[in-house]
Each structure stands twice: as structure tokens, then as C-alpha cells.
Amino acid sequence: MDNLKQRARQLGIRALVTHWDEFAGQPWIKTLLDKEDEVRQQRSFDRRIREARIGEFKPLSEFDWDWPREIDRAVIEELMQLDFIKEAVNVVLRGPNGVGK
């Protein structure tokens, strides 16, 4: 029970910590703390994604291969297999601004 009380304290659920003697031993406390932790992690992830301003991704299958004109489709499709990770090889993408490197 002390572990659950410590989790409640870390999560900042003050009412539960303050009235711990009234609630100790209740079967729903662990579920409540698990759900609170899960919701906070999701909110943190959502906030970080939103602040990164990454936007939406388009699948490679929807990529317009007609623009830019000088793109090497075979090389890009090979890179998307991610074999360079297994081989521990660096990949450098270079090109002008605005081409979506």
C-alpha cells in the first residue's frame, strides 16, 4: 500500500493522499493510478508532437514522383527498406530547400 500512496503523491492526487486512511485497501486505487499515469503519458506525447509541428505524413505510395524532376525513385525506395540501419551506414540527404528532405 505504501507504494500506491507514493504513486498517488508523485502523480499529485492530493485528495487521495490526504485521505489515504479512508481509501487504503480499495481495489480501484491501483486501476485509478494506472489510468491517471496512462492519460498523462498520452497527453505528454500529444503535446510534444503538437509542439514539434511535424504535421501530417503522406505515405510513400502517394508521393508525386514527377516532382522534383531529378529524384532517383529506386534509391529512395531502397532507403525506405531501412537496410542502412542494419549495416550501420549513414545516409545523407541533400538538395535545395522545399523538396521535403
Q: Which long-range contacts (CB under 8 A, 24 or more apart) does 90-99 make?
A: 95/68, 99/68
CA distance 90 to 34: 40
Give yes or no for residue 69 having a pLDDT over 90: no
Residues 6+ apart with CB under 8 A from 84: 90, 91
Backbone φ and ψ of 100, nearest 5°: 80, 40
43-62: pLDDT as tens digits? 999 999 999 988 888 888 88
- 73-90 pLDDT per residue, tens: 899 999 999 999 999 999
